[in-house]
Amino acid sequence: GAGVSQSPSNKVTEKGKDVELRCDPISGHTALYWYRQSLGQGLEFLIYFQGNSAPDKSGLPSDRFSAERTGGSVSTLTIQRTQQEDSAVYLCASSLLETQYFGPGTRLLVL
Amino acid sequence: AQSVTQLDSHVSVSEGTPVLLRCNYSSSYSPSLFWYVQHPNKGLQLLLKYTSAATLVKGINGFEAEFKKSETSFHLTKPSAHMSDAAEYFCVVSGNSGYSTLTFGKGTMLLVSP
């Protein structure tokens, strides 16, 4: 079956612009996670959704970052007023139980 | 809180020789542990997981890992490396929050030479 998909695969933007990153989880997976992978920082947890609720937003690095999930399925991560330090690969994962399955990521470059 | 330490940032082996990627963890409870692999410009793929059943866990592509509580280790091994094994490997521990936020190690890059 289909795995986790993310779009776009690559995004280049200018500093100060807003970006939206999309994640389509595996059908039926109730939990959805966003992570950021950057050089020197490794993989960092950003936010967790159970259904449409986000009980854990502790990893969001600033109030410029927000995420939502609709219909218990698709999620969008929004970064407002992007900064160069936001450049990273943003990974989405979904799970039904404990094991998380990852998408291919969105590579974001902020110029 | 939990943490993961991958002891080597890079490991180089020759094709056909054994692979050992080392991982130590710290956790205040009985953790679930995972190894994921990431090929260049690809997402993370689950290799194997330990969830308190058998201490020796077999995964995909001939990899296995042994959970040693006394040593707080979860090293990844493979008897014979293949060129296609060249990738970055992450040791991961699962949180104890009722949901499984993952804590990742820094990763080990495996280089395989012919």
Q: Please tell me which residue of chain B has the smallest CA distance to A10.
A: B41
The H-or-E segment that residue B36 falls in is strand B33-38
- A85 burial via Cβ count (<10 Å: 0-12, 13-18, 19+): exposed
pLDDT of B103 higher than 90: no
**Any chain B CB within 8 A of the CB of A30?**
no
* Contact check, Cβ <8 Å, B43/A104: yes
Question: Which pLDDT tens digit goes with each residue over A10-68?
Answer: 999 999 999 999 999 999 999 999 999 988 778 888 999 999 988 888 889 999 999 99
What is the rounded distance in angstroms from the CA atom of residue A8 to the CA atom of residue B46? 23
Q: Which of B43, B100, B104 sits opposite A103 (nearest CB)?
A: B43
Note the pLDDT of residue B51: 81
Using a CB-CB cut-off of 8 Å, the residues of chain A touching B44 are 91, 93, 102
* Contact check, Cβ <8 Å, A55/B99: yes
Note the pLDDT of residue B99: 61
Q: Which two tokens stand for residue A63?
A: 């109030």
Length of chain B: 114
Note the pLDDT of residue B97: 57
Using a CB-CB cut-off of 8 Å, the residues of chain A touching B94 are 98
